[in-house]
A and B are shown apart, each in its own frame.
Chain A
Amino acid sequence: MNVELLLQALREVLSAPSLDAEYLPIDETCIAVPAECLRRAVDVLVGRFRVTHLSTITAEDTGLEIVLLYHFWDRRGLTLRTSLPRDGPHIASLARIIPGAIFYEQEVAEMLGVVFDGHPVAASLLLPDDWEGPPPLRRPTGDDV
């Protein structure tokens, strides 16, 4: 997958001419997209560039926002980064484009309280069914990074 071609395609589809990639260790390309555009960006990746392997979705509550990292793999790593507000975070589910995303979204939902619109499963993945506390990976309010 050619990063330049991918950037061109994303800039066009998302109407974001200033979209650019940064490079992270280890040999990873990272592109930041707004949350409402993530689904369209993945459509481009899967539909036009045939990148189907989603390694996982990393989520972190930094205290200021919830950062989501979608790690793709096509002989090299490609991460799409996006962020959501800590209050009422929700984003489109990728379940229908990439069924492999279902478990990863389920885990982010239960650990950070993110809602994935259109996600087919409402149950917990790792937490017990009777879990009553706040999502475990949320920082307690009052903490900053």
Chain B
Amino acid sequence: MSRITIPIGPQHPALKEPLSFLLTVEGERIVESALRIGYVHRGLERLFQDRSYVQNVHIAERVCGICSHIHTTAYCQGVEALLGLEVPRRALYVRTLLCELERIHSHLLWLGVLAEHIGFTTVFMYAWRDREIVLDIMEDLSGGRVAHAVNAIGGVRIDIENDHIPAIHARLDELERQMEMFLGVIQHERTFQARTRGVGCLTQEQVQRYCVVGPVARASGVAMDIRRDQPYAVYDELSFRVITADEGDVWARTMVRALEIVESMGMCRQLLDKLPEGPLASRAPRRVPAGLVISRCEAPRGELLYVIRSDGSDRPARVKIRTPTLPTLATLKDQLRGVHTADVPTILAGVDLCIACADR
């Protein structure tokens, strides 16, 4: 059988963001693949050097559209550490609440995208409809569905009124009922299982070799979660499970993310119930003393790093961002080798790529 090379992207109806694949197929099977990214590289690390720490909060927010809040969290946390600034507890609670709400909305978005890619449009529609519940909570709190502009260096810029808390709980109740429906469907729907079980398998060894993080790593049995391993914000005051699985296929990744949504909802409830009184921010000086900080957070897709070096001025000398999608991209060659072309969208969807994050 002869080999044909099929180019996919950078613009393609199946892709949400631009990236380019060259798939070499023999009949229906992929024999080799090559990947090219960088189509939305905006040079943000360089841009950070030309703006003040204050301005850069908003640049960090715009690295990614889906996980904007965790970027500002990692950035502000790093700058606060360089300043030796103590952030008020109430601010950290608000910050953490938005982190978990963002995780829920990101995972629901992903669930819809995966369902759409395997042809299960019903679940796509329902997932994105129910995601609106979380987006409404975030919009009522911050004014924005994404790009919430909640974080500031020293704390947060919004408050949670006590009389709004019952309304948020009610929305979480509604989402909980919907999650029961989703878990029931994906656990029992035979075509869903047929399309995702045994597809895109990664062993624990492969995950460690490529330094993969997040739900993809956890679905292959690597229990890495910054929220538990190096608790930031107020994760040390919350009770939650780190969800792992052993199968390492798209099915396992689906179960990990779905159960993480349930854990996140539990964390949101704990945060609302234990919200302490107090100020919302500490005053942050504009100039940051010279130093180096490595700030880690657990983004919806995994470990997010902000490395910031300050030189004593009001602008950072260097900001390095490592987003969780980058190591996952390295596994695609292995995942795509030998699979049916029909499984390509499933595998791409299964790893929850965020190319805006990877390219910066």
A and B touch in the complex (CB under 8 A): yes
* A-side contacts of B291, CB under 8 Å: 24-25
B284 lies within 8 A of chain A by Cβ: no
Q: Is the CB of B211 within 8 A of A55?
A: yes
Instruction: Tell me the B42-57 residues at the A interface (CB within 8 Å).
Output: 43, 45-46
Q: Could you tell me how many residues of chain B have their Cβ less than 8 Å away from some Cβ of chain A? A: 40
Once the chains are docked, how many angstroms separate the CA of A53 from the CA of B208? 7
Given known pairs A53-B224, A136-B43, A137-B45, the reply for A60 and B318 (CB within 8 Å) is: yes
* B-side contacts of A27, CB under 8 Å: 230
Q: Is the CB of B303 within 8 A of A73?
A: yes
Other-chain contact of A26, B210, B211, B230, B309 (Cβ < 8 Å)? B230
Number of A-B contacts (CB under 8 A): 104
Other-chain contact of A58, B41, B81, B318, B359 (Cβ < 8 Å)? B318
Q: Is the CB of B78 within 8 A of A26?
A: yes
Other-chain contact of B37, A54, A79, A126 (Cβ < 8 Å)? A126
Once the chains are docked, how many angstroms separate the CA of A136 from the CA of B77? 27
Q: Is the CB of A71 within 8 A of B330?
A: no
Scan B317-342; emit 1 where CB is below 8 A from any A CB, else 0. Answer: 11010100011011000000000000
B198 lies within 8 A of chain A by Cβ: no
Question: A24, A27, A76, A126 — which one has the most chain B CB atoms within 10 A of its CB?
Answer: A126
Q: Is the CB of A77 within 8 A of B230?
A: yes
Looking across the interface, which residue of chain B has its beta carbon closest to that of A128?
B38
Other-chain contact of B293, A25, A55, A104 (Cβ < 8 Å)? A25
Once the chains are docked, how many angstroms separate the CA of A125 from the CA of B325? 14
B82 to chain A, nearest CB (A): 7
Chain A contact residues (Cβ within 8 angstroms of B): what range? 35 or more
A84 to chain B, nearest CB (A): 15
Q: Is the CB of B211 within 8 A of A52?
A: yes
Instruction: Tell me the B267-309 residues at the A interface (CB within 8 Å).
Output: 291-296, 303, 305, 307, 309
Q: Is the CB of B294 within 8 A of A103?
A: no
Instruction: Tell me the A95-115 residues at the B interface (CB within 8 Å).
Output: 98-104, 111
* A-side contacts of B317, CB under 8 Å: 60, 62, 145
Q: Is the CB of A77 within 8 A of B224?
A: no
Question: B295, B309, B320 — which one has the most chain A CB atoms within 10 A of its CB?
Answer: B320
B124 to chain A, nearest CB (A): 31
Q: Is the CB of A100 within 8 A of B45?
A: no
B192 lies within 8 A of chain A by Cβ: no
A126 to chain B, nearest CB (A): 4
Other-chain contact of B326, A53, A62, A103 (Cβ < 8 Å)? A103
B16 lies within 8 A of chain A by Cβ: no
A35 lies within 8 A of chain B by Cβ: no
Given known pairs A26-B78, A26-B81, A76-B230, the reply for A71 and B211 (CB within 8 Å) is: no
Once the chains are docked, how many angstroms separate the CA of A71 from the CA of B292? 13
Once the chains are docked, how many angstroms separate the CA of A99 from the CA of B320? 21
Looking across the interface, which residue of chain B has its beta carbon closest to that of A145?
B311
B230 to chain A, nearest CB (A): 6
For the complex of A and B, 3 pairs with smallest distance between CB atoms: A100-B211, A56-B322, A25-B81
Chain B residues close to A by CB (< 8 Å): 37-38, 41, 43, 45-46, 77-78, 81-82, 208-212, 224, 229-230, 232, 291-296, 303, 305, 307, 309, 311, 317-318, 320, 322, 326-327, 329-330, 359-360
Q: Given known contacts A56-B320, A56-B322, A100-B330, what 8 new A-B pairs fall within 8 Å (CB)? A: A25-B81, A25-B293, A53-B211, A75-B229, A103-B330, A111-B45, A126-B360, A127-B41
* Sampled A-B contacts (13; CB under 8 Å): A27-B230, A30-B292, A54-B211, A59-B320, A71-B307, A71-B322, A73-B224, A75-B230, A76-B229, A98-B211, A136-B46, A137-B45, A145-B317
